[in-house]
């Protein structure tokens, strides 16, 4: 059987880090098995859905490399929901309710006060035809609930949580349609999963009780059909929390737009989120094939997964240090060739920092103040510099080594006393790229001028 997964965001905002993790894991679950990953835009909430967010979702998934194998929009599938609703109504599995929100809240408080679970009391089922007609004559339009079967426990084997079991009598009959005719999440999602051939539903653990309810919906829809449809398998992963161990509102603001603005590589986000919350080590793995080979729901833990931006920064820096020049050439400052990238790359946490480091080559650099003895030493360096050969690449590669060996022999300096004043004079900094690679990039003319200026003070 071909594995089919889906990612079903609502276009009411940008994707955040929790959404991205869910999309990634569904993509990985499908691709590992050679299956299909579908994008379903859950845009039944017409008041809050925005086309700009639909475009942003597609763009974000594209940036992350999570291309879908097909796309559906719930706003195009309304006729199917109506047909399913009519079928369930005829089967006695949906019923109209007339309570206001205030009346429902009062009922909930009364049940809590009596030590009962705060679920719907099914009061609407006690109404006769005349009572329902009277309410509608008063202009009260009903909302609609799915009637759960209280006969048997709802159970399934969860791909992450293991055996799950719910007493349907302890669950509220869920509202599936509002009084204005609009749809809530439950029924359209089940209808679409069956119609789209979704085999595996992987989502957050906050949906566990929804799954219990939807299993009965799936059963009722399959029974009313030709019996060919199959109920998906379910898995619920632990939710993300902040590094403090608490649910963080900040996680809701961390999305692809924020990650892009800060200069993170999409593969760093993928490498982190692919294994976050599993028993596998989070490593700077650029090869998605390697990530797919080790993807296994059995490695997912039950404890909340902690998202730490410092860990993302670590992974990003390590991946940047692995990237070759061709992969980043279009993002580098003018003039930075492969040699320049190789020299500067180890100092970068983000590719976007390359321009600042490249300034050490092109200038201007910070003018440093030197003590008299260091200025005298730098004057010796100017004289030694004039003895260097710059004609061939094999000679250029040894320039720094030759230069410092001459100065060591002529001045007796070594270690930090030998190297630091030279670095400061040539780059204006106390640390940075390897000077053996940097000196040929600075070039003979610029390097001589910087040494002369430093020696003069």
pLDDT digits (tens, 9 = 90+) for 344-401: 999 999 999 999 999 999 999 999 999 999 999 999 999 999 988 887 666 677 999 9
Q: What is the pLDDT confidence band of residue 263, given thresholds at 50, 70 and 90?
A: very high
pLDDT digits (tens, 9 = 90+) for 36-56: 999 999 999 989 999 999 999
H, E, C per residue of 153-186: CEEEEECCCEEEEECHHHCCCCEEECCCCCECCH
pLDDT at 392: 66
pLDDT at 237: 97
pLDDT at 228: 78
SS3 286: coil
What tokens does 214 get?
A: 């939807």
pLDDT digits (tens, 9 = 90+) for 317-348: 999 999 999 999 999 999 999 999 999 999 99
pLDDT at 253: 82
pTM to 2 decimal places? 0.92
- Closest-CA residue to 4 (of 286, 200, 245): 200
pLDDT at 225: 82
288-305: average pLDDT = 96
pLDDT at 139: 93
- 249 labelled as ligand-binding? yes
DSSP state of 136: H
Share of the chain above pLDDT 90, in %: 91
22-49: average pLDDT = 96
**Average pLDDT across the chain, whole number:** 95
pLDDT at 145: 98
Spell out the domains of the chain, with CATH numbers in brackets: 325-361 (no CATH), 363-456 (1.10.10.350)
87-94: average pLDDT = 96
Q: What is the pLDDT confidence band of residue 188, given thresholds at 50, 70 and 90?
A: very high
- In the predicted structure, residue 81 carries a pLDDT above the cut 80: yes
Q: Say which residue the tokens 């000196």 belong to.
A: 439
- What DSSP letter does each residue of 348-413 carry, written as one string? -SSGGGHHHHHHHHHS--PPPP--HHHHHHHHHHHHHHTT---SSHHHHTTHHHHHHHHHHHHH--
pLDDT at 331: 97
pLDDT digits (tens, 9 = 90+) for 51-77: 999 999 999 999 999 999 999 999 999
pLDDT at 366: 94
Least confident of 158-167, 249-258, 286-295: 249-258
- In the predicted structure, residue 254 carries a pLDDT above the cut 80: yes
pLDDT at 247: 65
Share of the chain above pLDDT 70, in %: 99
- In the predicted structure, residue 443 carries a pLDDT above the cut 90: yes
pLDDT at 66: 97
């Amino acid at each position: 059987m071909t594995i089919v997964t889906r990612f079903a965001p609502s276009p009411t905002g940008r994707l955040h880090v929790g959404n991205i993790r869910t999309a990634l894991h569904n993509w990985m679950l499908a691709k590992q098995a050679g299956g299909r990953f579908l994008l379903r835009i859950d845009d039944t909430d017409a008041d809050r859905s925005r086309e700009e967010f639909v475009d942003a979702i597609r763009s974000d998934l594209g940036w992350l490399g999570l291309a879908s194998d097909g796309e559906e929009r719930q706003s195009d599938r309304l006729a199917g929901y109506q047909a399913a609703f009519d079928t369930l109504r005829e089967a006695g599995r949906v019923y109209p309710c007339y309570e206001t929100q205030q009346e429902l809240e009062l009922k909930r408080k009364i049940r809590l006060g009596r030590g009962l679970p705060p679920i719907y009391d099914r009061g609407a089922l006690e109404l006769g035809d005349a009572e329902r007609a009277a309410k509608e004559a008063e202009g009260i339009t009903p909302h609609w609930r799915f009637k759960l079967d209280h006969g048997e426990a709802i159970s399934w084997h969860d791909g992450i949580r293991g055996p799950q079991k719910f007493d349907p009598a302890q669950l509220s009959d869920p509202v599936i349609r509002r009084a204005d005719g609009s749809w809530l999440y439950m029924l359209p999602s089940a209808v679409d999963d069956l119609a789209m051939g979704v085999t595996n539903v992987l989502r957050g653990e906050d949906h566990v009780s929804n799954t219990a309810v939807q299993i009965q919906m799936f059963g009722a829809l399959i029974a009313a059909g030709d019996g060919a449809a199959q109920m998906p398998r379910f898995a619920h992963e632990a939710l993300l929390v902040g590094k403090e161990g608490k649910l963080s509102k900040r996680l809701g603001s961390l999305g692809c737009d924020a990650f892009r603005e800060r200069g993170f590589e999409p593969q760093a986000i993928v490498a982190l989120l692919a294994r976050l919350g599993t028993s596998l080590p989070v490593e700077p793995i650029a090869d998605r094939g390697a990530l797919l080979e080790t993807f296994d729901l059995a490695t997912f833990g039950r404890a909340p997964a902690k998202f730490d931006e410092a860990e993302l920064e670590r992974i990003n820096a390590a991946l940047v240090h692995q990237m070759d020049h061709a992969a980043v050439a279009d993002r580098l400052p003018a003039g930075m060739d492969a040699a320049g990238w190789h020299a500067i790359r180890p100092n970068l946490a983000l590719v976007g920092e390359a321009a600042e480091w490249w300034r050490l080559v092109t200038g201007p650099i910070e003018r440093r103040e030197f003590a008299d003895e260091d200025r005298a030493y730098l004057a010796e360096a100017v004289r030694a510099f004039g003895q260097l050969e710059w004609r061939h690449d094999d000679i250029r590669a040894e320039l720094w080594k030759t230069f410092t060996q001459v100065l060591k022999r002529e001045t007796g300096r070594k270690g930090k006393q030998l190297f630091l004043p030279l670095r400061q004079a040539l780059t204006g900094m106390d640390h940075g790229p390897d000077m053996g690679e940097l000196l040929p990039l600075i070039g003979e003319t610029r390097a001589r001028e910087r040494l002369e200026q430093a020696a003069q003070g």
